[in-house]
Amino acid sequence: MEEDIDTRKINNSFLRDHSYATEADIISTVEFNHTGELLATGDKGGRVVIFQREQESKNQPHRRGEYNVYSTFQSHEPEFDYLKSLEIEEKINKIRWLPQQNAAYFLLSTNDKTVKLWKVSERDKRPEGYNLKDEDGRLRDPSMITMLRVPVLRPMDLMVEATPRRVFANAHTYHINSISVNSDYETYMSADDLRINLWNFEITNQSFNIVDIKPANMEELTEVITAAEFHPHHCNTFVYSSSKGTIRLCDMRASALCDRHSKCEYFHQKNPMKEIKNLVKCEWNGFESGSKFSLRSNLQTPRSSGDVIMTGSYNNFFRMFDRNTKRDVTLEASRENSKPRAILKPRKVCVGGKRRKDEISVDSLDFSKKILHTAWHPSENIIAVAATNNLYIFQDKVN
């Protein structure tokens, strides 16, 4: 991926920005739905903000691809575990969309302990002409009802409603780090530091433990689960990663408790730090530390080959690597270059020695600013990048 080629073609949109940001405004997860028409973000304040893509207009064809706020709702509230004397944060750790089956949308959101299933639907009509209550909703005196009325639907301003349909709680002792919807669309799994549970969408008070790596003696603990993901097509297969840098492939047909994995891949050298850290995240079209693989070869030509890797970095930089050409480019998500449809320029970091005019000294990097959450559009050259409380959308330039 040559820098002089890929610089040119990347536009950006600046969706979510606050001049004054609190801790609760920091974005903690980003996720496109299966069509890419909706983009959901969760933050540390327990809120979910859904953006909808603009429909193509003959008068303004260039607006295709822009995302606007569609719905905002409070998914989780802070709680307190009185038995363990622990505060449970409202921070949204992960969002997963379910495939759309009707006019409504469904998504899962989770904090450290509780997973919720949300229904997001539109309403542009309201019923009028009730028999037992008046237009203000007050009950009418039955003795005053002299005729039977047939209720009718009247047009109203479009309203987007988010309603909780299921609450899956009390199944995790440790913090939930990931959720994944199965391809059978009847089950999903949730993973915490030491266990992975399998849920049925219709049953909220019971789950099945399919992975348990908790040692009998916690002093012998050497690794934790960092992420888990179902296979996109085979409902019996899933992978999970650990802080040791391993990714294990499991088949639920082999046994109810997947203590023995089918395959194990080692991706990292042992961390010299004794602390257990979240090192590995897993995706089915590739694996990389803190990274995501795309479904295309580069930002110019969509392809389902998974050849491009995107990873966040410090100073609000994010990098893209082409596995075939072995080339890479460093870009920046910042407020300075956040004008709509602006062309991104590659950034170069000077490690030492003489610095060129277009290079940035490594000493001037802001290590408090970092890209931790990114998402690829499922089929087009569009990416979402979260930088603290700001959300950026980057896409190919439309000529």
The predicted structure's pLDDT at residue 109: 98
What is the tens place of the pLDDT at every residue in 344-355?
888 888 877 677
Tokens coding 285 = 């079209």
Q: How confident is the model at residue 221 (pLDDT cuts 50, 70, 90)?
A: very high
For residue range 379-394, list pLDDT tens digits in order.
Answer: 888 899 999 899 999 8
57, pLDDT greater than 50? yes
Domain 170-296 has CATH 2.130.10.10: yes
Radius of gyration of the chain (CA): 24
pLDDT of res. 338: 67
Residue range 176-188: mean pLDDT, rounded? 96
Query: What average pLDDT does the segment 36-59 reach?
Result: 90
Angstrom CA distances, 207 to 168, 188, 237, 241, stand at 9, 10, 18, 21
Looking at every residue in the chain, the average pLDDT score rounds to 82
Residue 281, helix vs strand vs coil: strand
Contacts of 270 (CB under 8 A, 6+ apart): 244, 245
If one compares 171 and 144, the residue with the highest pLDDT of the two is: 171
- pLDDT bin (cut points 50, 70, 90) of residue 34 is very high
Structure tokens belonging to residue 93: 């750790």
DSSP E strands in 213-357: the ranges are: 225-230, 237-242, 246-251, 263-266, 281-283, 286-288, 291-293, 308-312, 317-322, 328-332, 342-343, 348-350
Query: What pLDDT is stored for residue 218 in this prediction?
Result: 93
What's the distance, Cα to Cα, between the start and end of the chain in Å?
Answer: 20
- At position 108, the amino acid (one-letter code) is L
Q: Is the pLDDT of residue 298 over 60?
A: no
Most confident by average pLDDT, 119-123, 287-291, 304-308: 119-123
Residue 268: pLDDT band (50, 70, 90) is low
Residue 292's pLDDT is what?
A: 45
Higher model confidence: residue 240 or residue 259? Answer: 240
> Looking at residues 166-191, what average pLDDT do you find?
96
Burial of 67 (0-12, 13-18, 19+ CB in 10 A): buried
User: Bigger pLDDT: 349 or 225?
Assistant: 225
Are the CB atoms for 347 and 332 separated by under 8 Å? yes
Q: Report residue 12's pLDDT band, with 50, 70 and 90 as the boundaries.
A: low
Q: Domain-by-domain residue ranges, the chain?
A: 170-296, 303-398
Whole-number Å distance between alpha carbons of 259 and 256:
9
Name 43's bridge partners. 27
Confidence of residue 111 (pLDDT cuts 50, 70, 90): very high
SS3 300: coil
Take residue 243 and report the two structure tokens written for it.
């802080």
Residue type, 254: A
Instruction: Give the separation between CA 292 and CA 306, rounded to whole angstroms.
Output: 10
Does residue 294 have a pLDDT over 50? no
Q: Residue 134, exposed/middle/buried by CB under 10 A (0-12, 13-18, 19+)?
A: exposed
Pairing of strands 246-251, 237-242: antiparallel
Q: How confident is the model at residue 16 (pLDDT cuts 50, 70, 90)?
A: low
- Check if the beta carbon of residue 169 is closer than 8 Å to that of residue 81: no
